[in-house]
Amino acid sequence: DYITALLTGYTGATRGTLYENPYFPGHYIAMPPPLTEGAVAYADGSPTTVEQYAEDVTTFLQWAADPHMEERKRTGVVVLA
């Protein structure tokens, strides 16, 4: 949730080279908004919004952190059954 909020929380306000983001501690971050509307077109017609991109990025990061989670869940269901 934090990564999604951080990626979508930019308000557009700046203070010098800092960008306002209420989800970052201190509310200002040096990283400019990394996502922009329409930057990537999806073959399946998914919306090309910052919110969709942020969801995709966080889903990928979750998978990258634990790529064997799905297999463990399937094994757990079989064991419990």
pLDDT tens-digit map of 56-79: 999 999 989 998 888 888 888 888
Q: CA 43 → CA 26, 36, 53, 62, 80, distances in Å?
A: 38, 18, 14, 23, 38
Q: Is the pLDDT of residue 5 over 90?
A: yes
Residue 18 is given by DSSP the state E
**Exposed / middle / buried, residue 53 (Cβ in 10 Å: 0-12, 13-18, 19+):** buried
| 22 alpha carbon, distance to own chain's centre | 16
Q: Which residues lie below 8 Å from residue 66, measured CB to CB, with a gap of 6+?
A: none
pTM, to two decimals: 0.80
pLDDT value of residue 42: 94
